[in-house]
Structure 1
Amino acid sequence: MAPQQPALVSLSPAELSFLRAALANSPPIRLDVTKGPRDFRSMRAEYDVLPSANGSARIALEDGTEALVGVKAEVEKSLLRPVFGEQPDVVMTDGEPVDESMGKGQDSWLEMSVEIPGFREDDALPVFLASMLTESLLASGELRDRLYINRRFHWKLYVDILLLSPPLSYPLALLSMTAHLALLTTHLPALKSEKDEDPLFDDDWDAAVPLYPKSAQGRPPVIILAMAVGPNIIFDPCKEELAVADAVLAIACTNSATSSKGARIVSIRTIDPPSHLTPPGIPNSMNSATGGSVPTSTADALTQRELLATSGVWTPPRGGMKRSLISKVTKMVVEDGGVAEEVISALAALEMG
Structure 2
Amino acid sequence: MYLLYLDYAATAPMLPEVIDTMTEVMKTHYGNPSSLHRLGIDAQTLVARSRETIASALHCKAAEIRFTSGGTESNNWAIRGAAYRYRHRGTHLITSQIEHDSVYATFRQLEQEGFRVTYVPVDRTGRIDMDALRAALTDDTILVSVMYVNNEMGRVQPIREIGELLRPRVKTLFHVDAVQALGKLQVVPQELGADLLTCAAHKLGGPKGTGFLYIRSGVELQPLLYGGGQEQGLRSGTENVPAIVGMAKAVRIAVQQQPQFAAHTAELRTKLESVIGAHPELTLSGTDEPGGMAPHLIHFTYPGMKSEVLVHALEQRGIFVSARSACSSSVEKPSRILTAMGYTDAAARSGIRLSYSLQQTLGDVERFDRMLTEVLKAVKPQVTARSRKGRN
* TM-score normalised by length of structure 2: 0.21
Identify the structure with the greater helix proportion: 2
Which structure has more RCO (C-alpha within 8 Å, separation ≥ 6)?
A: 2
* TM-score normalised by length of structure 1: 0.22
Identify the structure with the greater strand proportion: 1
